[in-house]
Structures are given as C-alpha cells and as structure tokens.
Amino acid sequence: MEEMKNKVVLITGASTGIGEGLAYAFARKGGSLSLCGRNVENLKKVEEKCVSEGAAKTIQVVADVTKVDDMERMVDETVAKLGQVDVLINNAGYGCKGGIENGTLEEFDEVFSVNLKAPYYLMQRCLPHLKKTKGCVINLSSCYANMFVPEAVHYSMTKVGLDHLTKCAAIELGKYGIRVNNVNPGLVVTEMV
Ligand SMILES: NC(=O)c1ccc[n+]([C@@H]2O[C@H](COP(=O)([O-])OP(=O)(O)OC[C@H]3O[C@@H](n4cnc5c(N)ncnc54)[C@H](OP(=O)(O)O)[C@@H]3O)[C@@H](O)[C@H]2O)c1
C-alpha cells in the first residue's frame, strides 16, 4: 500500500487511457502525483479518483507537450508544489494514420512533437531533479516500434525513435543512478484506438 510513499510521480497524458490507469495504480501505492494533460475536466475527474484511491498528494498541470513553456511549467510546478521528481512517465501520445503516399507533413510534425520531442525535453528538464532522487523514467513506446505498419508510418517511426532514446538515455544517465526504461504495449482499448 505504501510502496510509493514519499515518491513523486509526474505522468503526462494522465487525463485518459493508459496514463489514467497508471495514475490510479500509483495512487493505490500511496504516491504523490503530478497529473498532466490538456483536458481540464478529465484531469479533475482523475485527480478526484486518485485522492479516493489513496494518493498522498495530487496536483493537476494543464499543459500541452508540444509547447516548450508548458513543459517547463509542468516540471517547475511539480517541484514547487510536491518538492521533487522521483518518476517521470512520458505517456502522452498521439496516434495518426498515414503512409508515404497519403501522409502529411503536418501530421509528421505533430506526432514527432508529442511522441518523441516531448519525452526528450521532459527528461532533460527533469534531469537535475532525477539526479537528486536517483529516480527513473518510463517511456510509453508501442509494439508498433517492432512492426512494419504501412498505414501508420509516422506513428511507428516515433516509437522506434523513442526506443532508441530510452537506450541512449539509460546508458548516459546510469552514472547518476537514474534508470530509464520503456514499455511496448500491444493493443489497449482507449480513446486512441
Ligand atoms: N492504446 C494502445 O493500444 C497503445 C498501444 C501501445 C502504446 N500506446 C501508447 O500509450 C500511450 C497512451 O496512449 P492511450 O492509448 O492511453 O491514448 P489516449 O487514451 O488517447 O491518451 C492519450 C493521452 O495523451 C495526452 N496528450 C495527447 N496529446 C497531448 C499534448 N499535445 N499535450 C499534452 N497531452 C497530450 C492526452 O491528454 P489530453 O487529451 O488531456 O491532452 C491523453 O491523456 C501513448 O504514448 C500511446 O502511443 C497505446
């Protein structure tokens, strides 16, 4: 029950789906949670349930991970209000269809920004705090990183990149006692699918 007592978990995309489920799982273990997303109503509902499930402390940060200022505020508010970061979960994700013939550069930029640039920058921004706690990072990749899906070429490229980022970061940051891992789920029934 108290496995996460005195630990602060920052979850992006905590407003629905897998991120919401992760929030409840950490709440049940007594963690303090920084719940991040864009949808204010959903975040409010998730926060209320986290409190009833046993979270020590909770905050909501309404933020868009495609915006650098928002990502900085996400980390700064977490540290200001909860004191530290022990676990960063890069879960926010955007799924889009499209291949070579029918994909667009707009979708390319959007999906790379949410699924790959944001995890990179949030890891960098959290680094001073993770050094202090000898914390960890969990990146939500996908089984699509290991599959060749012509109709989702942008999305799967972001997840291949995320797997590579995870491995590079694990090697680079291991010297600080920081662990970096990814998970590659198969199909989970959420808004995305
Ligand atoms: N579902 C699956 O089958 C599956 C399989 C493998 C991997 N995954 C991965 O698991 C992660 C979660 O996916 P899910 O299935 O739970 O999807 P989901 O229910 O659609 O949730 C996506 C989350 O990401 C947030 N998000 C999206 N764009 C954002 C942005 N620009 N700024 C801030 N937050 C943003 C959304 O929050 P707001 O709407 O509040 O902004 C939402 O909370 C993703 O990285 C996805 O690629 C999912």
As a three-state string, the secondary structure of 70-117 is HHHHHHHHHHHHHCCCCEEEECCCCCCCECCCCCCHHHHHHHHHHHHH
Lowest mean pLDDT among 1-5, 22-26, 107-111, 151-155: 1-5
Domain 8-182 falls in which CATH fold? Rossmann fold (3.40.50)
- The closest residue, in CA terms, to atom 46 on ligand 1 is 93
Distance 175 CA to ligand 1 centre (A): 31
Ligand 1 proximal residues by C-beta, below 6 Å: 12-13, 15-19, 37-39, 42, 64-66, 91-95, 114, 140, 142, 185, 187-188, 190-193
Q: Residue 93 and residue 148: Cα distance in Å, rounded?
A: 19
| Cβ–Cβ < 8 Å for 170, 179 | yes
Q: Residue 98: what residue type?
A: G
* Nearest ligand 1 atom to alpha carbon 19: 16
Q: State the pLDDT at residue 193.
A: 80
| Summary mean pLDDT of the chain | 96
- Best residue among 111, 146, 190 to mutate for probing ligand 1, ranked by most atoms within 8 Å of CB: 190
Among residues 137, 126, 121, 133, the alpha carbon closest in space to that of 179 is found at 137
Q: State the pLDDT at residue 27.
A: 98
* Nearest ligand 1 atom to alpha carbon 185: 6
Domain extent listing, the chain:
8-182
pLDDT band of 1, cuts 50, 70, 90: low
State the average pLDDT over residues 23-52. Answer: 98
Distance 43 CA to ligand 1 centre (A): 13
82: burial class by Cβ within 10 Å (0-12, 13-18, 19+)? Answer: buried
pLDDT (tens digit per residue) in 70-111: 999 999 999 999 999 999 999 999 999 989 999 999 999 999
Q: State the pLDDT at residue 28.
A: 97
What pTM value is reported for the model? 0.98
Given a cut of 70, is residue 40 above it in pLDDT?
Answer: yes
* Nearest ligand 1 atom to alpha carbon 21: 16
Q: Residue 133 and residue 32: Cα distance in Å, rounded?
A: 14
pLDDT (tens digit per residue) in 13-35: 999 999 999 999 999 999 999 99
Q: Residue 31 and residue 110: Cα distance in Å, rounded?
A: 32
Q: Residue 172 and residue 163: Cα distance in Å, rounded?
A: 14
Q: Give whole-number Cα distances, 13 to 54, 92, 104, 144, in Å.
A: 20, 4, 24, 19
